[in-house]
Structure 1
Amino acid sequence: MAAFKPDGYPALSPYVILHDPEATLAFAGAVFDGARLRRIEDETGRIRHAEIRVGEVVLMIGGALADWPAQDAHLHLYVPDVDATYARALELGAQAVQAPEQKDDADRRGGFRDPGGLTWWVATQVDPH
């Protein structure tokens, strides 16, 4: 029986439509050690579809078009050190949304918007009880 999905891909992947997919790909590569996978361009070199692996997830990104406009999107990612990740993201051009803090649950969490237009929420579990 033929495989129903590519090797190493999860059955479910988030898909976002962005104004600047290249900026998000570069950012995710630098901040999260993302590994670029596939990239499909149109005849002008603009990204139609691209994929990057971040942890065990494959993030799929489309470039905005008139009939496929960019949309606000948020992703949540657990990281080993939320404060270090947040600081690195800001150093690489992200816009602060919320500085890391612990609120009503076991996670210390913060958020930022990357240069390509994607909002990332990053967290580290600090109190598992």
Structure 2
Amino acid sequence: MEKASNIPENYQRIMPYLIINDGEKFIKFMQNVFDAREQYKQMRDEKTIMHAEINIKGSTIMFADCTDTYHQQNSGMFIYVDSCDETYKKAIDNGAQSIMPPADQSYGRSAGVKDPFGNTWWITNPI
């Protein structure tokens, strides 16, 4: 894939930007379930994340805590993982709700969860 020369390293051309409730817990959830790495965090005050970034194997997700000005904005995301079943279990163990248990599909083994922050994750390991 061709990358524009002015896009900073560790960023892709399109990145999700979430506005969520309790970004600190979101970071922990993402680390526990998807082995995310915190790559940047700037606080608005002692409790509110103004802007943060996590990285999952080369893909960056940006997010901030919701405020009176910036209301919660969730997303649905599709993520390839090494093991759908293991990742699904980690998600459930970390407070996610099942949307669809792991099942074999024509494109791989796939499951769906809603994380504690309102985002939907379609977790798939390819065939």
Q: Could you tell me the TM-score, scaled by structure 2's length?
A: 0.86
Counterpart of 1:66 in 2: which secondary structure? coil
Contact 2:53 2:61 survives alignment (8 Å) = yes
Contact 2:10 2:59 survives alignment (8 Å) = no
Identity %: 29
- Measured on the aligned residues, the alpha-carbon RMSD in Å equals 1.6
2:10: which partner in 1?
8
Taking the aligned partners of 1:40 and 1:92, their CA distance within structure 2 comes to 25
Counterpart of 1:77 in 2: which secondary structure? strand
**What stretches of structure 1 of length at least 5 have no aligned partner?**
none
Q: CA deviation at 1:71?
A: 2.1
Taking the aligned partners of 1:37 and 1:72, their CA distance within structure 2 comes to 21
Query: Which structure ranks higher in relative contact order (CA pairs < 8 Å, sequence separation ≥ 6)?
Result: 1
Q: Pick the aligned partner of 1:49 from 48, 51, 68.
A: 51
1:84: which partner in 2?
86
Q: Show CA shifts across 1:87-122 (max 9, x none).
A: 11111221111111134x322211112223322110
